[in-house]
Structure 1
């Protein structure tokens, strides 16, 4: 997964990032290129009133990028874009639009719980996810300031919750605590996905 997030949300930034990646691909002789990547943006950086419009724009941006990338690497690229959702209880109330918050029309939902892992651990929340056939992926748990006991992560994994690590945490971009937590979680086989941080 490739996170394209910026606290000052602006589509010129993701565009420049993707243009830069295309330029790197053109100059690279490497064969070791991931051909399928999920590009995600975080809901927390999108104004509510413009969410639908901006998500459509982002999807179009990824579609165009994949078309250009396909020409460079001579392989067809899938259009994979999604959103990192801010967890709130209303999210799990049954509605027809919940699939809109899942990654690439799947049943996987990338969730930011803002340091509150306890809310996901409650039986009724996990039960609702299961009832709606949604598999939660908790984003960058290494950045939590509390509730970092391995046993809590293991319990959630046993209940079907997945975890995504941010490369930016591992290299210290989000502070020493996040770096140490990411190493600890990695050594304990907690992670299922790794995301790059492009911004």
Structure 2
């Protein structure tokens, strides 16, 4: 439910061949299908509903004659909560990952001033915001901050690679704590390239973490009922 597998639309797969390689790599680690979530980000990736759906339709047609057909179930987006996001909400020019769940992200370096206002607007529109990889935001330090985000209406999504040193020691430590405190609802690859999926193959976790990861997998089965 979080990846950058559609070709040529953001900083993920640059072309269709890479998309096919990524699908095959995901299948090799037991992933049965996915929801594509290219970035929508002011000044970088000018994606909207029309463009994302067009690329998804093209990709679906191209994959139809291969062993990767039907893997990409639908397309949505990962929305940066930047200065254009308010207008996206106002225009309802967004794609949910499933039903009323919308995948969002923040700047890694600076907390947006309008965060509370944006969350309130999403709540008003009966949207459930999923905050991608909260463990990677450097300005979120304490468990109380994450609990406050959840109280405001966020569900939290763990990046699988945060269970390693891939994003650095700070993200690793926060991911471990959030996981073991049961503060995540979802887990995703956030794969931008085949190498990310290959790294996932090598992950080992502690025995005591297995029930927490299994709980997230079970939640996916309940929420994403394809």
In the alignment, what sits opposite 1:102?
96
Question: For 1:77-116, what aligned pairs fall within 5 Å after superposition?
Answer: 79-93=73-87, 95-98=90-93, 100-104=94-98, 106-115=99-108, 116=110
Q: 1:172 to 1:56 in 2, by over 3 A?
A: farther
Q: 1:191 to 1:97 in 2, by over 3 A?
A: same
Partners of 1:83 and 1:148 lie apart in 2 by: 27
Q: 1:95 to 1:66 in 2, by over 3 A?
A: farther
Question: For 1:123-162, what aligned pairs fall within 5 Å after superposition?
Answer: 124-162=117-155
Q: TM-score, normalised by structure 2?
A: 0.65
Tell me if structure 2 keeps the 8 A contact 1:66–1:77. no
Q: TM-score, normalised by structure 1?
A: 0.73
Partners of 1:125 and 1:50 lie apart in 2 by: 18
For residues 97-120 of structure 1, the C-alpha deviation after alignment (integer angstroms, 9 at most, x for no partner) is: 33x23224x221111111345646
In the alignment, what sits opposite 1:42?
39
Would you tell me which structure has more helix in proportion to its own residues?
Answer: 1
State the Cα distance separating 1:197 from its structure 2 match. Answer: 3.7
Q: Which runs of 5+ in 2 are unaligned?
A: 194-226
State the Cα distance separating 1:147 from its structure 2 match. Answer: 2.0
State the Cα distance separating 1:133 from its structure 2 match. Answer: 1.2
- The CA RMSD measured in Å over matched residues stands at 3.4
3-state secondary structure, aligned to 2:73: coil
In the alignment, what sits opposite 2:11?
7
In the alignment, what sits opposite 1:58?
56
For residues 121-147 of structure 1, the C-alpha deviation after alignment (integer angstroms, 9 at most, x for no partner) is: 52x333211111111111111111112
Aligned residues: 184
Partners of 1:149 and 1:21 lie apart in 2 by: 33
Tell me if structure 2 keeps the 8 A contact 1:15–1:61. no
Q: Of 180, 183, 189, which residue of structure 2 is paired with 1:187? A: 180
3-state secondary structure, aligned to 2:38: strand
Q: 1:51 to 1:121 in 2, by over 3 A?
A: closer
Partners of 1:77 and 1:16 lie apart in 2 by: 12
State the Cα distance separating 1:51 from its structure 2 match. Answer: 8.0
3-state secondary structure, aligned to 2:37: strand
Tell me if structure 2 keeps the 8 A contact 1:119–1:125. no
